[in-house]
Amino acid sequence: MGAAGRRDRAPLSTRLWEEPYRFEFFQAVRLLERMAREHRWPARQPVGHDAAPNREAVRFRALPSLAFPAAPVCEIRRPKPAESPHGSPPDGPPDEPTPVEMVVAFMGLTGPQGVLPHHYTALLISRARKRDFALRDFLAMFDHRTISLFYRAWEKYRFPIAYERSQHDRDLPAEAEREETARRQAAEDLFTQCLFSLVGLGTGGLRHRQAIDDDVFLYYAGLFAHHPRCAQSLEIMLADFFAIPTTVRQFQGQWLRLGEDDLSALPSASRRGGLNTQLGTNVVIGERVWNIESKFRIRLGPLNYRDFRRFLPSADRLRAISHLVRSYVGPQFDFDVQLILRAKEVPWCRLGGDGTDPSRLGWNTWIRSAEFTRDVDDAVFAEQS
């Protein structure tokens, strides 16, 4: 274990500025775009799209050299503070929309891997010694667009990258930028929209209405998309999400109350022919029937007492598991949640509790005179909406 006074590791952004050659090209561009969004740089539009070049987060240039390159990314240049009337932010460019420049060696019209003959690169080097950058800047326009499209082609089928961008664009303060982001997300993050459709949240009005984040449904989209849905998949999902042992006990019987039209009644003044009086066909004795097909039970545990308290109705996890299960099984089944507490974790019963954990009859109180020899599973709670 390191000493308490050891130096902190440099942030990733600092390492990117100081040692860009240590970063892979795609990761470097991804980090710069993310920094531009987080720090609200004036030039923060994604590269390779339809924004003006001076509004994009990164400006690409080919390395004007014939030497063998040591890394794909040779240099990352911040705009000079003198270019801005307000100075430069700590982690980014000035207030004016001036992109960060990235010099690369793996692609371009000129340079070590250039597609033009090498004498064009030699000409650029010769003109640069005389402080003539006209030809270099002219060719850089084509380099920038080509490299931008190369990055965009890599990004297109990397679904986590588009998802990451849409997550950062959710909290934009300006209404106009939110609308622009929504239009761009419709094209860029189509994969996420497809996943939402598979789990039943395809329209915006159905989202952000659960006790759990909508991203949970995306994570388990494979289980939600599978039909018919089964108890084994539900066990896997709950055990993974809550990180506790989970068992689904099927065919948990329950009493169902019958409606008035389903009851049996002898003929009377109001019902001359009676109601449901055909013996062996529709006669029912009583007001309820026992049904084992419409309910199941979720058994959680064995749990320690800390986790046990988190699933009590006064906590938030019971509501979360209720929403997740209801979204998975639909409205046609009933269920309840049974908590299994380890025998050695069963608390002593005290009136009023211990001050921080009040005693609740039927929740966390057991009459005990000695240590329990088996886990207790008395606590059963109904679904919480």
| Residue 226 token pair | 């599978």
This prediction's pTM: 0.73
Express as a percent the part of the chain with pLDDT over 90: 55
pLDDT digits (tens, 9 = 90+) for 125-146: 999 999 999 999 999 999 999 9
The residue ranges of DSSP E strands in 85-181, in sequence order, are 100-104
pLDDT at 299 over 90: yes
DSSP state letters, 301-369: EEE-HHHHHHTSTTSSHHHHHHHHHHHHH-TT-EEEEEEEE-GGGPPPP-TTTTSSS---TTTS----S
The domain locations on the chain are 12-156, 161-224, 228-251+295-382, 254-291
| Nearest of 100, 79, 81 to residue 34 by alpha carbon | 100
Using pLDDT thresholds of 50, 70 and 90, give the confidence band for residue 88.
Answer: very low
* pLDDT at site 82: 43
pLDDT value for 127: 95
Please give the pLDDT value at position 7: 54
Residue 254 in tokens: 């329950």
For residues 108-118, average pLDDT: 94
346, 376 Cβ separation under 8 angstroms: yes
Q: How many residues are listed for the chain in this entry? A: 385
Note the pLDDT of residue 170. 56
| 288 confidence band (pLDDT: 50, 70, 90) | very high
Q: For 28-61, how does the pLDDT look when each residue is reduced to its tens digit (9 = 90+)?
A: 999 999 999 888 888 889 999 889 999 999 999 9
| Strand duo 295-303 + 254-257: pairing | unpaired
* Alpha carbon distance 332, 350 (integer Å): 41
Tell me the C-alpha distance between 114 and 137, whole Å. 15
Instruction: Tell me which residue has tokens 């209801």.
Output: 326
pLDDT (average), residues 204-213: 87
Say which residue, 200 or 183, is predicted with more confidence: 200
**Banded pLDDT at 10 (limits 50, 70, 90):** low
Mean pLDDT, rounded, for 269-277: 79
Q: What is the mean pLDDT of residues 2-19?
A: 72
Taking residue 345's Cβ as centre, other Cβ atoms within 10 Å add up to 17
Of all helices (H) and strands (E), which one includes residue 257? strand 254-257
The whole-angstrom separation of Cα 46 and Cα 35 is 11
pLDDT of 333 > 50? The answer is yes
In the structure encoding, which two tokens stand for residue 211, read together? 């006790």
Banded model confidence at residue 81, pLDDT cuts 50, 70, 90: low
As to burial, measured by CB atoms within 10 angstroms (0-12 exposed, 13-18 middle, 19+ buried), residue 234 is buried
Phi first, then psi, for residue 169 (nearest 5°) are -85, -5
Helices within 67-220 (DSSP H only):
118-129, 134-156, 159-168, 175-188, 190-198, 214-219
Token reading at 215 = 């991203």
Average the pLDDT over 362-383 and give the result: 90
Phi/psi of residue 284, nearest 5 degrees: -125, 130
Q: Are 297 and 248 in contact (CB under 8 A)?
A: yes
Whether pLDDT at 89 is above 80: no
pLDDT value of position 157: 85
Q: Residue 323 to residues 48, 195, 216, 315: CA-CA distances in angstroms?
A: 41, 19, 11, 14
Q: What is the mean pLDDT of the chain?
A: 86
Report the pLDDT value the prediction gives residue 9, as an integer from 0 to 100. Answer: 57
Q: How far apart are CA 47 and CA 62, in angstroms?
A: 16
Residue-level pLDDT at 4: 56
What is d(CA 76, CA 82) in angstroms, rounded to the nearest whole number?
Answer: 18
